[in-house]
Amino acid sequence: MGLENELTPRQIVEELDKYIIGQEEAKKAVAIALRNRARRKVLPPEMRDEVAPKNILMIGPTGVGKTEIARRLARLANAPFIKVEASKYTEIGYVGRDVESMVRDLTDLAVNMLRSHYSELVREKASKIVEDRLLDLLVPPLPLRTRRRKKDEGIDQEIELNRFEKAREKFRKDLRQMKLEDTIVTMQVQNRMLPIMEIFSPIGFEEIDLSFKEIFGGMLPKRTKERKVTIAEAREILMEEESEKLVDMDKVVSEAIEKVEDSGIIFLDEIDKIVGSDSKTGPDVSREGVQRDILPIVEGSTVATRYGMVRTDHILFIAAGAFHSSKPSDLIPELQGRFPIRVNLKSLGKEDFKRILTEPQNALVKQYTLLLGTENIKLEFTDDAIDEIASLACLVNEQTENIGVRRLHTIMERLLSEISFAGPEMANQTVRIDANYVKKQLADVIENRDLSRYIL
């Protein structure tokens, strides 16, 4: 297996450029990390385990693209990805989530990803089985009828069989042409509810989250209940049942664990919030403890999940924080050493905002143009309007709190609120958004600093 089918670092950056403006240093760092994973896979087995991922620490204010870079990277690699906030974890012994739950959550996500993938692969086979089961609901199998009939009633069983087959084929044709979607049928469905129970545990629900359905599913008798459903609803229920039967869950779990161990990405946000303050008093008593709990997971350990043991040695950790009131060197030395690659993300300026509004594939101007286009409203943004929106976003960020690109979302929503509200009455109209329109809609709010704090 070579590297021919893997993206090069330059190609990775080009893909990220489609959605994220600027931050070249951070893009290059994650591109190299992703490429190194591909390089590691072609190493001899004895060396493969020795090559640890180079975890990344992103430093920069909110709203500059830290999370988006990590999320887009995971999508490019088709890797299990989870974003967690370091501030929600607590040291063992305090009330809160324990740090190992991030690995359990990532494993759950990987299993669901692969289950969906394999369900799609067996969909065609499952749909044939579902079609036969729907026909059984519409035309009950012949043995169930003929069993009740006596031979001396004089009914020719061959004629009855032909009649049955013709009726079944007619319904099959109607099913395929979607003519029976609203037809009501009665079917038996499994009652998936488990008995309600309360569990009190000093170690929290994370440790005992071992899927009660799996533990008790085989012990408790399967209950079914009759439900009247449409053919469309019955098809969905049966498709889920049959796909579940056709998918080899042992294979799914095995591949999911392998995918987590070799390709998993955990984005650890707000890592600066678990830096203890200089003061020895206050509510931050467990912050350094959280760092020490995170350390073995980042270094490489084995975590128990409902699907089995998962090693974290080759999971890529991308940590991020603004570090306004602290600095990376305030982290405990051992944790600092586990994030050897550090990148600074720059604050966004007016020119960045102008590009963000128009260039990415998911640019805000494109989003609103398409959204209102569903009401047959044609939005036209002039260059001076884009310039004015970017200027106002910078101004509000300077005067209040700098929330980066998120400020554009609040300004655009405020700018287009009247059009969005009156949308159904403005069909087939063209609305031209220029600088004067922007000033008219936002000038009062911008000028009143107190008001802009609440609205923008």
Q: What is the pLDDT of residues 62-91, one digit of tens each?
A: 888 898 998 999 888 888 999 988 888 766
CB 214 within 8 A of CB 306: yes
* Domain range list for the chain: 9-115+257-344, 123-246, 350-455
Distance CA 141, CA 164 (A): 8
Was domain 350-455 assigned CATH 3.40.190.10? no
The values of phi and psi at residue 365, to 5°, are -60, -40
Place 200 in a pLDDT band, splitting at 50, 70 and 90.
very low
CATH architecture of 9-115+257-344: 3-Layer(aba) Sandwich (3.40)
Place 327 in a pLDDT band, splitting at 50, 70 and 90.
confident
Kindly report the average pLDDT of the chain as a whole number: 82
Give the rounded percent of residues in the chain with a pLDDT score beyond 70: 82
Place 114 in a pLDDT band, splitting at 50, 70 and 90.
very high
CB atoms within 10 A of CB 350: 15
Distance CA 244, CA 259 (A): 21
Distance CA 383, CA 386 (A): 5
pLDDT at 282: 47
From 28-42, 222-236, 349-363, the region with the lowest mean pLDDT: 222-236
CB 335 within 8 A of CB 53: no
Distance CA 244, CA 256 (A): 16
Tokens of 66: 């830290």
The radius of gyration computed from the CA coordinates of the chain, to the nearest angstrom, equals 29
The reply to whether 9-115+257-344 and 350-455 are identical in fold is no
pLDDT at 61: 87
pLDDT tens for each residue of 307-321:
999 999 999 999 999
Its pTM stands at 0.79
Over range 407-425, report the average pLDDT: 88
Number of H helices, E strands in the chain: 21, 11
Distance CA 225, CA 187 (A): 8
pLDDT at 57 over 90: yes
Contacts of 313 (CB under 8 A, 6+ apart): 49, 52, 261, 300
Virtual CA dihedral for 58, 59, 65, 71, nearest 10 degrees? Answer: 20
pLDDT at 277: 57
What length is written for the chain? 456
CB 292 within 8 A of CB 332: yes
Of 143 and 401, the structure prediction assigns the larger pLDDT to 401
